[in-house]
Structure 1
Amino acid sequence: MPAAPAGTLAAHRLRLRQSCDIVFPGFRTLSPAEEFRAVADWCEANGVTHDQYGQGDLLAAFEDTVAGLLGKQAAAFMPSGVMAQLIALRLWTEVSGVPRFGMPHTSHLALHEEEAYQALFNFHGVPVGERRRPLLARDLAAVAQPLACLLVELPLREIGGQLPEWDELQALKEMARARQLPLHMDGARLWESRAYYGRSYAEIAAGFASVYVSVYKGIGGIAGAVLAGDADFIDNARLWQRRLGGTLVRQSPMVATAAMRFEARLGQMDACYRRTLDLAAGLSALPGIRLNPAIPQTNMLHLFFDRPADQVAETRDAIASSDGRWVAGEIRPTDVPGWSVTELYVGDTLLGLDNTRVLPYFARLVGA
């Protein structure tokens, strides 16, 4: 029988996932109707009114909250992280006069944004370091060409949520300071990093001239990002936000969905990290599965299966149909023939399920 078209198969799997009683990866996602009812109730309880092109009490308060957590003077809400980071790069290249910036090999800008920094601004992105580990001070020392800034991703998603050790991070900050090179943080998953470091977000962000954080990854807002830095930097960022069409007439719906769960989600991160460590210990004992990193540094990791991706996906789909459990998200081939990989993000669902109720399903994915 011929294989189903990719679009048809993807639609089938989306319906299959939605039909499951329990979805292992991530936090529970509300249906649109549930989400809109929840945000309506929250807005009514908190007296929220609409903003007007980014001007309003809800936005101002949320921006101040995030800026304070990050230890920065100011912050601006933006509709997407792509926009926030492009604006940060634009500003640092304007300051330096150098249309060149450094970034990890696996940066979101390099892999998932259709070369936007080059197509829109004619910037040159310089890969720094090694693709299988976090950036270190010696990687920056090896870069001889002038850079407008260095983008540092904390944690690095494409290598399983890895982080540099605290001393290594401080050494990188010191190296950048000595070179008078601004550091920009891609903190899309910064919220997940505090549990490992045992430090405040402000301590982690200290030494970074600008920081981007997501308010839908981890937090659960419907969309949006926050860019933080000093007051002048954010004033100029708002100018570029307007130029790029990012100052929407109403931004309060996006902000409200993040603000209403912001404190609670941050409060769950320590528990999610502890659960990840426990789950990883169980998964590492299963034959045919390898973890990256072996000991997780955030509440996410990558699982490698000694089995082809299509077979693992078919088994996942069969489990979903028979047991109503969605065990894993996207499963893709690796560079090693016959192996496959998936990303596992531990959210509130797995907080309520111990290993005895979870590990047998992962064993089935590898045919055990």
Structure 2
Amino acid sequence: MTESEQEERARLLRAWNGAGRRLAPVPGREPIGERLARLAGEGTGAYDLTDWTDQYGNEDGIVGELERRTAAALGTEAAAFFPTGTMAQQAALRCWAGRTGNDIVALHPMAHPVRWERDALRQLAGLRVVHPTEAPRLPTAAEVRDVAEPFGSLALELPLREAGFVLPSWEELTDTVTAARDRDAVVHFDGARLWECATHFGRSLPEIASLADTVYVSFYKSLGGLSGAALAGPSAVVQEAAAWRHRYGGALFQQWPAALAALVGLDRELPRLPEYVAHAALVAQALHESLAASGVPWWLVWPRVPHTHQFQVWLPYGARELTDAGARQAEETGTLLFRRWTEPAGAPPGMSMHEVTVAGPGLSWSAEDVRAAVGAFLGFLDAARGTASGQGTETGAGRDSGPVAE
């Protein structure tokens, strides 16, 4: 990272953390001293802080307590703590490959192991991958039945983040799982964000987890932890995966800070997720209405009604200028609406995307608050671009293009 990039990063962090109003906490972006103090304060209600720190995740310590509470929350026989979800899923899928005698994993090309793990399933785990569909949604039962090759495992990311944190209906999910079983395959849930899926499905976490043979969950993506994940399922499989955890270098000497933060998340954030999901619908609707009335030539709020407390917003401008406009809004008004924008691979040229998260701080936002924040953001964007609102974009789109609403 160059010096100018470091300065820009520091500037963005100051702007984001300095904003008094925001839709969600800025994840992982907090001064070290403040985070340690917060962990110590919140941790007193989650675990006995007079107990000893763990060593290699001993079962009678804080890591063991986290594993037991995770298994209880998901209704599984056992759970094992992993330092990363990448490691947890590789361990699970290679265990299933050995047990089924089939090293092929069926999963979506947008799924995390394909998109973000540098071909680790093949390079490290020796597994092969097939894709039931390339559509930006979870595969259907028919698509699973039509996979040309026999596969040993079907991995489903719930929700599918890259497609907009989307979920199937409960009936579609159960049909897809049944289709995999009909092909003698096991089912693994990539549940990095499984915690917030219960509202959409109208089912409890144990009911959802019971559909799969194993489930991976994250402790920091929705629960606000420091890091870490868990693999949950039958005791025998979890024990085998724990052996692979050791082989992968995941048996860390001390993991108590991550485990304590995870326990805090289970206590404090997990019960509030349904409220976040409900309020995300209000925020998405207000964003939709604001952009529809703004004169912006092309835009997208997706899904139209969020399936979880996260969703996407797309605008026809460069990621750098959009990120800068959001930072200027935070600096000058104290309101943080959008943080960092990206230009995803495969997206149309000139289009940028932002992942909106609605959590505790966002519950106080009314629809009018959202509309006012959108108007201010577009004003900062226009000022940065040196153009009046609605005069088109550098991509060549004009007002006649109309908004893309769904």
* TM-score bracket, shorter-length normalisation: over 0.9
Cα distance, 1:8 vs. partner?
Answer: 4.4
Change (3 A) 1:304 1:267: same
Q: Secondary structure at the match of 2:225?
A: coil
Cα distance, 1:206 vs. partner?
Answer: 1.5
* Cα distance in structure 1, aligned partners of 2:162 and 2:244: 29
Q: Secondary structure at the match of 2:349?
A: coil
Per-residue CA shift, 1:338-363, capped at 9, x if unaligned? 33210001111111222222322223
* Cα distance in structure 2, aligned partners of 1:291 and 1:75: 36
In the TM superposition, 1:1-368 aligns within 5 A as 6-26=5-25, 31-41=31-41, 46=48, 47-55=50-58, 56-286=60-290, 287=292, 288=296, 289-333=299-343, 335-366=347-378, 367=382
* Cα distance in structure 2, aligned partners of 1:97 and 1:5: 52
Counterpart code for 1:24 = L
* Cα distance in structure 2, aligned partners of 1:352 and 1:283: 16
Cα distance, 1:302 vs. partner?
Answer: 0.1
Contact 1:302 1:343 in 2 (8 A): yes
Cα distance, 1:7 vs. partner?
Answer: 4.9
- Identity over the aligned pairs, expressed in percent? 29
Change (3 A) 1:41 1:330: closer
* Cα distance in structure 2, aligned partners of 1:36 and 1:324: 25
Contact 1:196 1:298 in 2 (8 A): yes
Change (3 A) 1:327 1:109: same
Cα distance, 1:95 vs. partner?
Answer: 1.3
Cα distance, 1:41 vs. partner?
Answer: 4.1
Counterpart code for 1:250 = Q
Cα distance, 1:309 vs. partner?
Answer: 2.7
Contact 1:102 1:127 in 2 (8 A): yes
* Cα distance in structure 1, aligned partners of 2:252 and 2:100: 30
* Cα distance in structure 2, aligned partners of 1:125 and 1:28: 32
Per-residue CA shift, 1:152-206, capped at 9, x if unaligned? 0001111111100010011011112222210110000001111111210011111
Could you say what the CA RMSD is over the residues aligned between the two structures, in angstroms?
2.1
| TM-score, normalised via structure 1 length | 0.93
Structure 1 gaps of 5+ residues are: none
Q: Secondary structure at the match of 2:172?
A: helix
Cα distance, 1:218 vs. partner?
Answer: 0.7
Q: Secondary structure at the match of 1:296?
A: coil
Contact 1:105 1:131 in 2 (8 A): no
Aligned residues: 366
Contact 1:27 1:348 in 2 (8 A): no
* Bigger Cα displacement from structure 2, 279-288 vs 325-334: 325-334
Per-residue CA shift, 1:7-36, capped at 9, x if unaligned? 543343233323333333447775432332
Contact 2:56 2:251 in 1 (8 A): yes
Contact 2:113 2:121 in 1 (8 A): yes
Counterpart in the other structure of 2:393: none
| TM-score, normalised via structure 2 length | 0.84
* Cα distance in structure 2, aligned partners of 1:130 and 1:28: 30
Change (3 A) 1:7 1:129: farther
Q: Secondary structure at the match of 1:291?
A: strand
Contact 2:287 2:370 in 1 (8 A): no
Contact 1:25 1:327 in 2 (8 A): no
Structure 2 gaps of 5+ residues are: 383-388, 390-406
Contact 1:220 1:258 in 2 (8 A): yes
Cα distance, 1:120 vs. partner?
Answer: 1.3
Change (3 A) 1:285 1:351: same
